[in-house]
Each structure stands twice: as structure tokens, then as C-alpha cells.
Chain A
């Protein structure tokens, strides 16, 4: 009885909190959009509510034992520093940070339209508590998550498996993961060298760091301002529906123009369906990442959960290298403060190569692994060639013309901070795609 009362009280409190946040956000969005001003806001243009939510102090108290961590305990409370936002964003890596199984449909398309696609079934064991808190609390070098990947498509990759053991980094422990691979043609489980973090996987646009996420303590953080995003991943006009899968394997169709940035359960959309974001920039710390081939990373983080909806990576010369855009979905309702949101669809765009990859997480099945199940999370398990959870996806693209559009450059936003120039040829292809509503291949007039 007492428990029920407490629950009702907590729900009421949450409802009040959500209502007040909604009210404030509505005002905030109204301030920016109804006035007809630009969607992006520099620090001096922030709304009062946004100013209350941020902490612009350059130096904040440090943790006594681990000086590269903030003194305030994670997950922090408002107002938030840019650094704290960077730490909060660690919750939202490519794969959800709780134990689960899913089918990951992925693909890459070149500027000529050469399309490759595949499906891998992922089993994730988040070894302690869900999300980033346990990773932050670990000692450098300790493992915090284990991933098993079983490739089922295309046929040449059927049975290829990988195991990743994710480790917390430290100044003296730069290895981010142990990496094992099983190749059916060799029938061998082999430990692979830990991948170079910013180097893309073979043949695709995204790197291991794009998948594993950045560790906030390796970067210096600064707030650039705020912005309202109305689109991230863009479907072509010739792809009206997409087939998705429920955890139990049931397939269902969704109209592509109905898919919102953070799907239906996100409560803080602006009146016109946008998502208000803080825009922060992370620059690599030289002592942590001395030869990192990235000069800065810019995040668009939703202002409530700090979910990164758009990420830009710039090369050593400050030129745009990569745009990552996401559609998220609340997959884990048990977690508070929006921590249950996870990537549903991600598009990675290499602006230098004009190469575009996607990854769609389908049939997401939450798991609480039993002791017996955990035997599956060892390198030797891969020798068994046992696909324990045959999750499937029918979300792959049918033809190159129906592939996702290149993400918008948003070149007019924060122009002093972002060098968004692309080659004239790529600019022409972007213009052609925007005009046609789908990717255009072949010669395009500049």
C-alpha cells in the first residue's frame, strides 16, 4: 500500500515536472520560432530558460580522486556545464547501453550508387548498471560492456562473428576495447588489434569511435549556443514506407514522413515538431589523444536528456569530415530522465568521400541475462556458430535510388565555428538530390 502511494506521488511529481518543462520549452520555442528569427542562437541570444539550464563557468570543482572528472556526482543537476553535457551524452552511444538483443541492418552507398547492405544480430551485455554511470565509475582498463555480433547477410558474411569487450580508458590505458573475430572460412577465433579509433571500418563511413562513442574526459568542452532541429535523417520522397520489426519478430509498416526525430514518446517537441538542442563543441585534449586525427566534434544535444541528434567531426585542418544524424526511440521505459532512448536509425555521411552509411536497429529485445546466458559472452562461444536469437530485419533499402538523402549541411548555422564547405561536385549532387527528392547518380551539372 505504502509502495503504491509512493508510486502515485512519484507519478504526479513527474507529471508536474514534465508539464512545467513543456510549458517552459513551449515558451522557449515560441521565443525563437514565432519571432521569425534564425533557429540557431549564440550564447547571448539564449532564452531565459536556456540560460537557467546552463553553467558557463570555465572552471568547475574537480573530483578529489579523479581530477579529470567533475566534482558533482553523475548524472549532475541543472545548471549544466558543457563538460557535464558531454558526460551526459555518453549515455547515448550507437548501441543502447543496457542488455539487449537487436537486428542491426546497415548499408553504404557510394556517390556512383554502388550499394552494399548487411544485417548483424547484436547481443549486448551491459556488465553492471545500464548507461554511462558504471563506465565512469570503473577504473581505467576495466571492462564495462560486452557485445557479440553475428552477421546473417549478405551470404558471404553469413556466420562471421565479432566480440567486443569495451574498456574504460585512462591516461595509461588507451585501449578502448578487446576485439575478437570469427571467420567461417578460417574457422578460427582470432584476437584482432584494437582498432584505430578514428579510422572508419573497411568500406563504410563510420569509425569505431562513431560506434563506441567518445569518452568525455578526453575532450575539452565548450557551449556554442542553441539550435532547433526539425530533421536529421532524411527519407527520399520515393520511399513512402519502411518495414520495421517488433521485439517478437512481428513486422509492421511505418509511413516515412510520420517518423519524428525522437519518435512518439519524446514529450518535448516544439509546436512545429522540432527539438531544441544545445550545441557543444569538444576538442581533443593533447595529453589524452596526442595523435588524434580530429580537431573538434560538434554535438547537437536535446536540451532535456542530452541525446545527440546530430554530430559533426572535423579533420586536423578543421575541414568537415563527417556528419552523423540520428533518429532515436525510447526502447527502455524503466530508465529515468530519458536515459531509455536509443538510436533507431543513424546516417553517417563522409563529406570528403561523398560516402554515406546507415544503421537501423530493429527488433530491439530487452534482456536480463541469466548466469547460463552469460556463457555466450566469451570469444570461444563464436566457434559454436550458434545464432541464439535469430532477430530479423526487413528494413533494408530496395534500390540505390531509395537510399537515405545526404544530411543537410546547415551551413548558415554558427558559421564562425563550422567550416561546412564541400567540393563543387558534391555541392552539385546535394542540390540535385534536394531538387529530385532522392539521390541522383551520374553526371550532375555544377
Chain B
């Protein structure tokens, strides 16, 4: 708690005094460990401003405001030539660099500094056959040059799966492809698509699609759009006056993508060490695990079996200042559970035979929001407020039961898996303070029913404990002197836990976004992992503080 207080105190300094200790420490960290991209930023942004006369810079700024070659030479001419066609493109580059020295951490051979140098090109086209019928295609082309440029031995994930490095399959490139038919009261959308349910930051009832979790704890709500894994489905919605009913029929299935061996965000807690992992094809191809057990082919749902299809339904109701909804999802677990299905003995001793299998889950969710204006708030007067609430109850989620697994390994009975119901829920209070200061306070809660020592991780449950509590605090403010083009924000996520662990560390994200032009945006992001023990959720990443740059051009 003391550490949290220090972080909060530091953060408060950021708000009230620009030259705060936090910012100073970030600057010191950055400049003590020169990073190429920061240097490039200085060259690109600060030096021209200093070198160019004020009027010249303003002239440059004016010309940037109308600089849109993609729109001028590609999308607009194509749209003029083909009536009914709408074309959009986005080029995004993300670079994240560790501010710590190269060093081995836990099982990881962390001899790299780059966490990602990803360039993603999105080309979206939609053709309107009639006012009611439309075909949409969204395509992704991605290349992460960190695997080529950084050269660290610890980065070898492309041997596990090429999609960490580049998208070169139809499945990855053709991200969304669907036909939509709309009438005033009915929507029918057929094809490959992603669905985002819920209203919160974070995923509570946003459960339809699996996720690409390659960024692990650094995955942000803003990334979900490009990290959800779309599926082929039928999506029907009927709209009554203030009520809508949405039904999904999903023959397709996608498993989560997690940080693999040799990827920058692979957990330092996961054995074996990189030295042996990168030389074990069986391990990299998921035919073996760190204990030398044999891993069989994963049993996946089969779309040719009707009984393997997933079904979801959602009801939404708007009633004045209150909106609320209910959801249900008959789904497959995204991560296969490693069931023990046998044993064998070889020269190194007794081992288990593991059969990973996706299991059925029932999800029940609720979502709601309510708005009001508080009057007579001291120093502020009126204060507009929104309250959002969301919860998901999951029945029979599978957890690895390490206590049972140890017993099985010693010759006892069992399959190493334990079923538990889970609950995850959050409340979010959003406040609109004067001077365009926006504040969100979102206490989030995760609970595993019938929890006991030795349980691993399961869908929707607490991590490493019976319950987790994460009171997320977010604040943002535009800088008026820049005509709101510069936006500063901070997000603080302390992660508390019980009844076993107390505190699993805090993640702090400081961000400065600048509208370079109406078409180009740039962001500088610093992410800090602080506190907790080395085996805690954030504690394991306390040597992963990093600075990131994001550039985006949309045309």
C-alpha cells in the first residue's frame, strides 16, 4: 500500500506541477538509456521547431493540415471512379523499447531492448449494392521488424508462429469479410467479423472473439480492435422501440494467441530457460512441455459438427437516463486445458501424457449505465457523472490444479484440472471536470469460487489468488495552448489480491498524444511496472518499463 501511495503521490505531482518527480524520473531514465526512437523523435519534432523560424513552422503546420496523399491520389479517385465503393486506409507504426539494461530475468534470456517495431497497414473497402445491402472487406498487412532489427537471441517467436513476425496467411490478412443486409428494424451480417460487447475499459462482457494476447499485460483497450481474432458467424439484430435483441450463431472457433517462447512478453516465470527452449523443437511445436511430458494434438471444436457451434444472445434496453442489458454465451474456452490422459516412462523418469482440450463454458453477463449531474460539489459546482457497471459469471471454467497435478505425477488419480465458477465485475465512474479534465475511476473485481491453494489461471477468475481487486484510475486533459491538439493522460492500475497475496504490483501508463494533422497522429507512451513480488502479475515485469512511440496516418 505504501508503494501505491507513493505512486499516487507522484502521479498527483504530475497533475499539479509539470516538472514533477515522475516526469523527471522518466526523463532521466530515458536519457540515461538513449533509445534510438527517442532520438529520432527529437530530430523529427523538436529540432525543426527550434531551427525553423516561428512563421516557417506555422507555414509547415498549415501545409501539414491539408497533407493527405493517400486520400488525394488513392481513395478519392477510386471512389469517384467506382460509385458505391468506399475505401479507407490506415498505416500504423508502434515501437516499444525497454528502458532497462539487457539482462536475464527469470527464465528469459532478455538480451533485447525492442518489444515491438510493428507496422500495420489496414485497407478497408465496402461496396454498397443498394441502400440495404453492403459487402465489407477489411485486410491487414503486418510486419514486426523487431525480429530482424534487434538481433537478440531471446527473440525467436517466429519459429513458433510466423504471425508474430508478419501476416502472410489468408486467415490473418482477410481480417473481416462480411455481407450486411439492413432494414429499419433488422440487421443481418454474415461472414467473418469481430463483435465488441460491453461499455467498459477492459474486457468484462466483451467475450465473443478470442484475442491475440502477444502483448500480455501491456495489451490496452485501444488495441482490442486489432487484437481480437475475428470469426465466421451469422449476426442478427432486431430493434424494437427502446429494446434490441442480438443473436449470434458462430460455427467458427479461434483459440487465443498467447505470448510464445521467444516473444518479448513471454512470462519470466515460465520454464524452461530460453537456452533450452529455443533448441527444443518439441517444446516450440507444443509436443512437449517444460517437465518433459508428452503433449498430444489439441482437441479443437469442429465446425462441421453442429453441436460444436457457439451461440450467443444479447438484450439491450434504453430507458431515460438508464440503459442496461443482459448477455448469454454458450462458448468454448479460448485456451485449451491440459488434461492428464496417461503416463509413460523414459530414460529421464516418469512423465505424463497431456491432451489439451477446449471445454464448453456458459457465460452470463449484465451491463448497465446511468448518467446524472451532481449539484453543489465543493470547488466545482455542478459535476456531470456517468456510472457504468458490468459483470460476467462463468460456469465451470477449467483451472490447472497444481496440487492435483503433483499428486498425479506421484502416482495418484486425477486429470490435473479443476472446475470452478468465476465472476468478474467492474464499476466505472466517469467525471467531466472543468477545463476538459476527464477522470474515470474503475474498481474491477475478479473472484474464483471454491478457490484453494495451488490453482492456476482460469477464464474470468482471479490471478494467483482467490480474489483480485484493481481500482483503475484514469485522467486526461488536453492542452489548451495547443488548441487541444496535445492530450496528456495517465492510467494507474494497482493490482491487489487476497487471501494469499496482498499486492501484485502497479502498472502506470503516461501518454502524450499529438494531432500532427487531421490525418496524422503521434503518441509518446511511457509504461512503468512497479511493486509486487517477482512471481506476481505486475511484479514479474518490473524490469520491463518501456517507452513507446505510435504514429498513425489515416486516409
Partner of B381, one of A190, A290, A383, A399: A290
**Knowing A114-B62, A190-B369, A203-B485 touch, does A378 contact B380 (C-beta < 8 A)?**
no
Partner of B432, one of A112, A194, A293, A388: A194
Closest A residue to B440 by beta carbon equals: A193
For chain A, the count of residues having a C-beta within 8 Å of the partner chain is 58
A424-446 vs B, Cβ < 8 Å mask (1 yes, 0 no):
00000000000000000111000
**Knowing A115-B62, A155-B88, A190-B369 touch, does A203 contact B382 (C-beta < 8 A)?**
no
Q: Cα distance A182–B173 when bound, in Å?
A: 26
User: In the complex the two chains form, is B484's CB within 8 Å of A193's CB?
Assistant: no
User: In the complex the two chains form, is A193's CB within 8 Å of B196's CB?
Assistant: no
Q: Cα distance A110–B384 when bound, in Å?
A: 29
Check B55 for interface membership: any CB of A closer than 8 A: yes
Check B61 for interface membership: any CB of A closer than 8 A: yes
Tally A-B pairs: CB < 8 A: 166
Q: Cα distance A380–B54 when bound, in Å?
A: 47
For B478, list chain A residues within 8 Å (CB): 202-203
For A372, list chain B residues within 8 Å (CB): 183-185
**Knowing A190-B199, A196-B434 touch, does A174 contact B373 (C-beta < 8 A)?**
yes
User: In the complex the two chains form, is A374's CB within 8 Å of B241's CB?
Assistant: yes
Check A213 for interface membership: any CB of B closer than 8 A: no
User: In the complex the two chains form, is A442's CB within 8 Å of B369's CB?
Assistant: no
For A118, list chain B residues within 8 Å (CB): 518
> Chain B's nearest CB lies how many Å from the CB of A152?
9
User: In the complex the two chains form, is A113's CB within 8 Å of B61's CB?
Assistant: yes
Write 10 A-B pairs (CB below 8 A) sorted by A numbering.
A113-B65, A115-B62, A189-B199, A191-B388, A193-B385, A193-B431, A195-B384, A378-B242, A442-B58, A442-B59
Q: Kindly list 19 other residue pairs between chains A and B, CB separation below 8 angstroms, not including A189-B199, A193-B430, A355-B483.
A: A112-B62, A114-B62, A116-B515, A156-B552, A175-B384, A184-B225, A186-B196, A192-B386, A195-B384, A195-B432, A196-B432, A203-B483, A203-B485, A373-B184, A375-B185, A379-B323, A381-B239, A384-B187, A441-B62
For B239, list chain A residues within 8 Å (CB): 375, 378, 380-381
- Using a CB–CB cutoff of 8 Å, the interface residues on chain B facing chain A are 54-55, 58-59, 61-62, 65-66, 71, 75, 88-90, 131, 182-185, 187, 194-196, 198-199, 221-222, 224-225, 237, 239-242, 244, 316, 318, 320-321, 323, 369-373, 375-376, 380-382, 384-386, 388, 430-432, 434-436, 478, 480, 483-485, 515, 518-519, 521, 552, 554-555
> Chain B's nearest CB lies how many Å from the CB of A294?
13
Partner of A194, one of B182, B185, B384: B384
> Chain B's nearest CB lies how many Å from the CB of A170?
12
**Knowing A115-B66, A191-B371 touch, does A386 contact B182 (C-beta < 8 A)?**
yes
**Knowing A187-B225, A373-B184 touch, does A175 contact B483 (C-beta < 8 A)?**
no
For B432, list chain A residues within 8 Å (CB): 192-196
Q: Cα distance A12–B386 when bound, in Å?
A: 55
User: In the complex the two chains form, is A380's CB within 8 Å of B369's CB?
Assistant: no
Check A117 for interface membership: any CB of B closer than 8 A: yes
For A189, list chain B residues within 8 Å (CB): 199
User: In the complex the two chains form, is B483's CB within 8 Å of A114's CB?
Assistant: yes
Q: Cα distance A342–B501 when bound, in Å?
A: 64
Check A199 for interface membership: any CB of B closer than 8 A: yes
User: In the complex the two chains form, is B58's CB within 8 Å of A441's CB?
Assistant: yes
Closest A residue to B240 by beta carbon equals: A375
